[in-house]
Chains A and B, each alone.
Chain A
């Protein structure tokens, strides 16, 4: 399940709450809309559950292992499915809200599935000074997405990261796990176009 907020605005602390009556506590616990997204644990339940079981092996009642478990899940499923998180809470012996907290606090975790190709652009100081914001403009123009979003066809997810540690080679982008140094808007456009072409070719070949 993914979650969209009603009345989302630029500064998310600003919500149009005019009359906080006793009925509506400040936290808006139930005013968030749930949007259905694929849940691998439901679809291919047994196989995916056993993968989760392997991750949780030896970690029964070990609340200190929470972050490690979530990282393994993120690598395995490419995101953190809700049902999986409920199982994690039970198995590790932690309140569900705590699991939810940790899952939403860290950038490495995603509660919604990512696209087939993950494009991460470094926005560290050295890369910024060398023009990395233009790379975001390029992606906005070519794919029409902002950081954190996925293209409607599920091909690309764009992410910002605040420094990959390759500062001398900036601007740096990582596409499908491969680091690209000295990336310019032109090079990035070509890379994205090449991947689209490759994707189309694979679809044709597999069809």
Chain B
């Protein structure tokens, strides 16, 4: 029998097995915490910083990612305060300004409440979420992909840029990549990128229920961790 733990998220008292992360606990109970690098079946690394929450302990609150935070008895979590919503919005704004040509990223941005992008658009083809790498090393044990380089030169690569024999050609890396979904209205022209957010499932729901799961079709094919595979 697994041990259970009680904690409070957004005022709701919930009970989850001991080894759960706060993010999984919230998603399982219908609380929407947007996320990008979190994926069921692989380790959480907390690098997209979208799933940030406030942890209240001893009268003080600190901000951390809910995917790397394990649940503890009596924990108090606030996932949708003004402060957190603003942070999430700003981080999502950075993401969409960097890679507007991804439907998943556009949807995610609008879900996080981005209504305008105040930076000049870039046109990146990878947001470095690390899903492909983790699927390759942890699920398939192939270790054919990894992050290479540092800082703004960081990119995903095969060893010495050559596909090794031990790459199983399973193409799981492509399946889990948020960039490989064809944009709905066709690709944006370079220099003419914009914030889309036209998907009806996102726009109305964001205003009325930023904190509840609305079974939105966040990036068709790019499954939000809540959707059953």
Contact = CB atoms under 8 A, between A and B. Distances in A.
Do A and B pair up? The answer is yes
Contact of A101 (B124, B132, B148): B148
A49 B66 CA distance: 48
Interface in A94-118: 95-101, 104-105
B124 A97 contact: no
Contacts of A206: none
A112 B162 CA distance: 17
B208 interface: no
A25 interface: yes
Contact of B161 (A11, A29, A98, A101): A29
B125 A17 contact: yes
Contacts of B123: 14-18
A20 B124 CA distance: 11
Interface residues of A, number: 33
B18 interface: no
Contacts of B102: 20
Interface in A1-39: 1, 3, 11-22, 24-30, 32, 34
A82 interface: yes
A104 B158 CA distance: 13
B159 A100 contact: yes
B150 A104 contact: yes
Nearest to A13: B124
A34 B162 CA distance: 10
B146 A27 contact: no
B122 A13 contact: yes
A25 B146 contact: no
| Chain A interface, >50% SS class | loop
A29 B158 contact: yes
Contacts, number: 114
B190 interface: yes
B156 A27 contact: yes
Given A16-B123, A22-B180, A30 B143 contact: no
Contacts of B164: 96
B101 A27 contact: no
B55 interface: no
Contacts of A97: 143-146, 158-159
Contact of B152 (A13, A15, A21): A13
Given A3-B161, A13-B98, A15-B123, A98 B146 contact: yes
B122 A20 contact: no
Contacts of A21: 180, 182
Interface in B185-200: 187, 189-190
B124 A98 contact: no
Contact of A98 (B143, B153, B179): B143
Contact of A15 (B125, B137, B159, B189): B125
Contacts of B187: 18-20
Nearest to B136: A97
Interface string A158-202: 000000000000000000000000000000000000000000000
18 contacts: A3-B161, A18-B190, A20-B187, A21-B180, A24-B180, A25-B177, A27-B156, A27-B173, A28-B155, A29-B163, A96-B143, A97-B143, A100-B146, A100-B157, A100-B159, A101-B147, A104-B149, A104-B150
Given A18-B189, A25-B132, 4 more contacts: A16-B123, A20-B125, A29-B163, A97-B146
Interface of A: 1, 3, 11-22, 24-30, 32, 34, 82, 95-101, 104-105
The 8 A-B pairs at the shortest CB distance, nearest first, are namely A95-B143, A27-B156, A17-B125, A97-B146, A26-B179, A26-B126, A96-B159, A32-B161
